[in-house]
Amino acid sequence: MQDEIIRLPNVKKVFQTDEVETHALIDIHMEIKRGEYVSISGPSGCGKSTLLAILGLLDSPSGGEFTLRGQPVSSLKAGERARIRNREIGFIFQAFNLIGDLTVYENVELPLTYRNMPASERKKAVHEALERVGMSHRQKHYPSQLSGGQQQRVAVARALGGSPSILLADEPTGNLDSQNGEAVMSLLEELHQSGSTICMVTHDPRFARCAERSIRLFDGRIVEEADQAPIAAAVAS
């Protein structure tokens, strides 16, 4: 379909050692359309992180095909995969992954420098991204001067800076207290309402219900998939 960003037909992932063969993903069928907000949940070891690594072009399936915006990615060379990761995919990590000796502005700008983007365009993109997450007033600060919630907002801005086709969020509230976790979830909902496509991995069933479609994994298989009425995150006062 024209508005389909991700398509995984019959994808599997097998990890092999000399003595053990581990089936991390089994017969995964999944599609994500433009503007969707999808949550992937399940217990530890169920395959969530493996699936997200494949979606982010950080790993490859052992079987099946993965298409991104209609393009099969199995035959892409390493440089082409890196270019697509930089231009098409925004990553939001549990551990924030900000660079400590760079300012907020520089952290958000860094991925854009790999595109050889002119300085004036980078400046505009960084300011817009920081404005969207409410952190433009902290652009000269360093990560150590920010709270956990503020660091995650900067991480979201970094992901948004390049206007990616899809945001992949890996346990975005995992290192946050409940209040900051709710605030980040509210931010993701605002981004979705403004048109962003989001795929979020979470172990928290409360946050899984914030998405409009939920996928549950167990032992490497999709055991439940359902559309749902999103429940808005309530930020504690």
Q: Give one DSSP letter per residue of 132-198, joined into a string.
A: HTT-GGGTTS-GGGS-HHHHHHHHHHHHHTT--SEEEEESTTTTS-HHHHHHHHHHHHHHHHTT--E
Edge-to-edge strand ranges of the sheet holding 89-92: 89-92, 166-170, 198-201, 37-41, 213-218, 221-227
**Is residue 110 scored above 90 in pLDDT?**
yes
**Is residue 22 scored above 60 in pLDDT?**
yes
In a domain, 175, yes or no: yes
Residue 11, φ and ψ in degrees, nearest 5: -85, 140
* CATH for 74: 3.40.50.300
Indicate the number of domains in the chain. Answer: 1
Quote the pLDDT of residue 204. 86
User: Average pLDDT of 175-195?
Assistant: 91
Quote the pLDDT of residue 234. 56
Share of the chain above pLDDT 90, in %: 77
Share of the chain above pLDDT 70, in %: 97
| Span 124-167, pLDDT tens digits | 999 999 999 999 999 999 999 999 999 999 999 999 998 998 99
In a domain, 88, yes or no: yes
In a domain, 236, yes or no: no
User: Average pLDDT of 194-218?
Assistant: 92
The answer to whether 162 and 90 are in contact (CB under 8 A) is yes
Q: Which two tokens stand for residue 72?
A: 């099969």
In a domain, 92, yes or no: yes
Beta strand 198-201 with 37-41: parallel, antiparallel or unpaired?
A: parallel
In a domain, 147, yes or no: yes
Beta strand 213-218 with 37-41: parallel, antiparallel or unpaired?
A: parallel
Quote the pLDDT of residue 100. 96
Distances (CA, A) of 153 to 116, 159, 233: 25, 10, 16
With residue 67 as reference, give the H or E element that holds it: strand 67-68
The answer to whether 123 and 103 are in contact (CB under 8 A) is no
**Is residue 88 scored above 80 in pLDDT?**
yes
In a domain, 120, yes or no: yes
Identify the domain containing residue 33 by its residue range: 4-227
User: Average pLDDT of 33-44?
Assistant: 94
The answer to whether 236 and 178 are in contact (CB under 8 A) is yes
**Is residue 90 scored above 60 in pLDDT?**
yes
Q: Identify the band that residue 236 occupies on the pLDDT scale cut at 50, 70 and 90.
A: very low
In a domain, 232, yes or no: no
Quick count: other Cβ atoms within 10 Å of Cβ 82?
13
Quote the pLDDT of residue 232. 74
Q: Identify the band that residue 75 occupies on the pLDDT scale cut at 50, 70 and 90.
A: confident
Q: What is the mean pLDDT of the chain?
A: 91
User: Average pLDDT of 92-111?
Assistant: 95
Cβ-count burial 151-160 (b if 16+ within 10 Å, e if not): bbbbbbbbbb
77 Cβ contact list (under 8 Å, min separation 6): none
**Is residue 181 scored above 80 in pLDDT?**
yes
User: Average pLDDT of 21-25?
Assistant: 94
